[in-house]
Amino acid sequence: MFRFLNLTLSGVSNGMIYAAVALALVMIWRATRIVNFAQGAMLMFTTFIAWDLAQRHGVNYWVALVVAMVSGLIVGGLAERLLVRPVETGPPLNAVIVTLGLFIFLQGLAGMIWGSSQAHSYPPGFSIVGYQVGNRTLLFAPNDLYIVIAVALLVLVLYLLFNQTPVGLRMRAAAFNPEVARLLGVRVGRLLTAGWALAAAVGALAGILAAGTQPGYVIPSGPFDALLVYGFTAAVIGGLDSPVGAVIGGLVLGILLSWADSYIDNNVEGMYALLILIGVLMVRPNGLFARQRVRRV
């Protein structure tokens, strides 16, 4: 029972990170109907920037985190303006290929700057020594609590932004019905850029949080690619269109993976994620939280 509790807690902590990646994917999907396959590489790149500052130049953890998120804003905004905008009106596959291209480009660029085979470690925000309960150690440390609180705060801020502010209302209108939004005076182009920028900043936070969970995380290819797969799985579980679904999808995936790793075998974690993905798609092809579309004829 104690083991079960431990695995669940550890799953919640990982799941919150997947939730943040899933949120980034969902935000971009909602804004531009594109699955951003470059999300993993974008957050890898911003994490490298923060790593460079924190480990090589002795910059404070929190400053590095802010720099990573601001870099995310810039990378995301530029990606939308320079790469996605020109292919927006073409077939959807064009945009997918552009994001794949950006993924390969960023991976190569990071390799050129920081080396492609050397795995670096990123400092966690807080202690990774688990809390003590009686004489037993929980698989849940102050750093895990920090992850849970950070992502929960992020969700709260995004919720308030989208639902309680004029800018959020404009962003939703631009995403749901760009033509009507423009007729109502909404500058749709700008808001789509802002949506991508914001999503990439969310991804950047996820990258920093993930990088601190295990040594040797910071490397151009590998762990961050897996993170994208988990984030994508979480987003699809949640229906790809629903921010609430993304968060719940992330938590469900984190907990299931944590159980499977320990009770079955921890060498094939990626396979479990794909099995869960296939299972969800077979039962609920639109994901668990997709809003039912009622078509009027």
Residues engaged in binding other proteins (CB under 8 A):
166, 169-170, 172-173, 176-177, 179-188, 291, 294
Would you call 72 helix, strand, or coil by DSSP? helix
- From the CB of 177, what's the least distance to other proteins, in Å? 5
| CB-nearer residue toward other proteins: 74 or 184 | 184
- From the CB of 262, what's the least distance to other proteins, in Å? 40
| CB-nearer residue toward other proteins: 1 or 183 | 183
Strands 136-137, 132-133: parallel, antiparallel or unpaired by DSSP? antiparallel
- From the CB of 180, what's the least distance to other proteins, in Å? 5
- From the CB of 83, what's the least distance to other proteins, in Å? 23
The answer to whether 253 and 241 have CB atoms below 8 angstroms apart is no
Would you call 48 helix, strand, or coil by DSSP? helix
| CB-nearer residue toward other proteins: 171 or 280 | 171
| CB-nearer residue toward other proteins: 63 or 161 | 161
- From the CB of 188, what's the least distance to other proteins, in Å? 8
Q: Kindly state the tokens that stand for 193.
A: 């850029």
- From the CB of 182, what's the least distance to other proteins, in Å? 5
| CB-nearer residue toward other proteins: 176 or 263 | 176
Distant-in-sequence contacts of 222-226, Cβ < 8 A, 24+ apart = 222/119, 224/40, 224/41, 224/43, 224/44, 224/47, 225/40, 226/269, 226/270
| CB-nearer residue toward other proteins: 114 or 289 | 289
Q: Kindly state the tokens that stand for 249.
A: 């999808």
Nearest CA to 246 among 289, 282, 284?
289
Instruction: Report how far residue 246's alpha carbon sits from residue 173's, in angstroms, rounded to the nearest whole number.
Output: 20
Instruction: Report how far residue 259's alpha carbon sits from residue 18's, in angstroms, rounded to the nearest whole number.
Output: 16
